Amino acid sequence: MQPIHDRIDRRPDWTVQVVFDPHGNGADFAYTIGLHDRGLPELHLWARPDRGPDPGEDWMLSHHDRTELLNELARRLVDGALAVGDTWSERFDAGVAVVDFELCPPGDREHLQAFGTAPGAVVLPLSWSLTRPPEGPLTPLAPAARKQAETDFRVAAASLEHAPGRTAPSVWACAETPSFDPRQPFGPLTAVVRARGAQLLAASVTQLNCLLRHAAEVEMGGGSLTFPASSAAASARPVGRTRALEELRTAAGPLLAEVTEGPCWRPVLDSLLGAGPRQPSEEASMGRLLRDVVVALLSAEAVADGIPHEWLLAARGPWLTAFGPPGEVPGDDWAASASVLAAVTGLLRPLDIRQLGAVAAAHRLGSAGTVIGQEAYADLVHKLHGWALVGFAGCPWRGTLDELPAWSPLLERIVGPGQRVELAPLPELQEWASCLTAALTHRARLTASEATDFARPFADLLPGLHRLLDGPLTAAS
């Protein structure tokens, strides 16, 4: 079977129904709806293994994994290339985790909870087992990793100095003097993990709002909120930290309850969902987003010295952007390449301050979905921002956008010629620029119509924008 990232995109005429366990215990699953209309059986897949010695308590197929797998298997079923009894293997987590699948005979529709399928539909369950490397000995941090951990702890602890949040429970209290002893509950990086938990408990309504919006945008961009946690589980095994991650997941439950039962949660839901009556499923969805983004971040921090760098960035991006200064990428690792940044600043350099303000205003109106005929722009912005959040695709303000020549005449009038001052970010312009750098960085993931939708609101202000999105990116462009 082809790896997920190599599969050909054939638009299905069926759907995949993804179901989340509302209790967060991993009993998630997914199944197809619509294959029955073709005279074929529907397919069903649990998120955790249903056979084999490894129960996968710290490992599960994300909703994205389940959707991709079921779509690919449905295509094979339509092509006559899949039958009951077929077996195959897939590798995950950079090849260290092996999943062995088998397509089983029809299962009980009620037991599988495939209630969205047509009455009388036959449902074929996918049974699978998980094989991972054995647990290694508990290993202390290497010197370089300890030095980085000390820096990470200082930065997180500093953000709490003036935070107005409630007193954290002892298990999530930020230490005054960090210890990096590997025998701590969450392993040698316990101090950093606890500092992150304390940040969450001290979060304002605005910060929680941002965290949830960012989590949703990562998913809108086709990313997985849960994969960093799965990657962390794989990275924990060689250094003996599986038990530490189990302790962490157990402690995360009360931490999340403190937030969702606290005074900020209701205003956060009102700000995201509206203040009127809501369906319980809407609130449950927000709770699930919070759980996934928090558990991913805490899990990645517990093995930050060993997890693949791209997944550490993916876990930290939504968090650091929510808790950091507004209008800035979390760090250099979240910035797009030099050639992409040069292309964006080259596009903006001829604009004066009024024109830059007009770009920001057009983006603000378009991203709110209030411009008739440009509704697709808002959805596209969420997708692009999701790509920028997880690394190597954003546009920094400092050192990039704050050096555009349009600012100089204004600053000279305010502080006088020759005076160097720091210009605070213009959030709408910075967000738009990050969407553009994400579009250029991941151009192969954009359709031609999406490129047109992104450029359309700026056709008069930036006539070269569509050409930039359509052409090959070089240093000269």
Per-residue pLDDT, averaged over 416-443, amounts to 88
Provide the edge-to-edge strand list for the sheet that holds 97-103.
15-19, 29-33, 42-46, 123-131, 97-103, 87-92
Burial of 274 (0-12, 13-18, 19+ CB in 10 A): exposed
In whole angstroms, what separates CA 422 from the centre of its chain? 31
Q: Identify the burial level of 100 via C-beta atoms within 10 angstroms of its C-beta, where 0-12 means exposed, 13-18 middle and 19 or more buried.
A: middle
Give the amino acid at 107. Answer: G
Tell me the pLDDT band of 411, cut-offs 50, 70 and 90: confident
Using a pLDDT cut of 90, give the percent of the chain over it: 72
Contacts for 75 with CB less than 8 Å, ≥ 6 apart: 10, 12
pLDDT tens digits for range 253-290: 999 999 999 999 999 999 999 988 888 889 999 999 99
Q: What is the pLDDT of residue 165?
A: 52
Residue 371: in which H helix or E strand, if any?
none
**Helical spans, DSSP H, in 128-204:** 143-158, 190-201
pTM of structure? 0.80
Q: Give the three-class secondary structure for 473.
A: coil
Q: Which residues pair with 33 in a beta bridge?
A: 15
Q: What are the sequence ranges of the domains in the chain?
A: 4-131, 143-310, 333-470
Buried b or exposed e, range 292-318, using 16+ CB within 10 angstroms? bbbbbbbbbbbbbbbbbeebbbbbbbb
Give tens-digit pLDDT for 300-330: 999 999 999 999 999 999 999 999 887 789 9
- Angstrom distance (rounded) from CA 119 to CA 226: 33
Answer yes or no: is pLDDT of 423 > 90. Answer: no
Q: List all residues 6 or more positions away from 291 whose beta carbon is below 8 Å from its beta carbon.
A: 24, 252, 256
Query: How confident is the model over 65-114, as pLDDT tens digits?
Result: 899 999 999 999 999 999 999 999 999 876 778 999 999 999 998 899 99
Give the dihedral sign, CA 360/362/366/370.
positive
pLDDT at 163: 65
Interatomic CA distance for residues 50 and 56, integer angstroms: 9
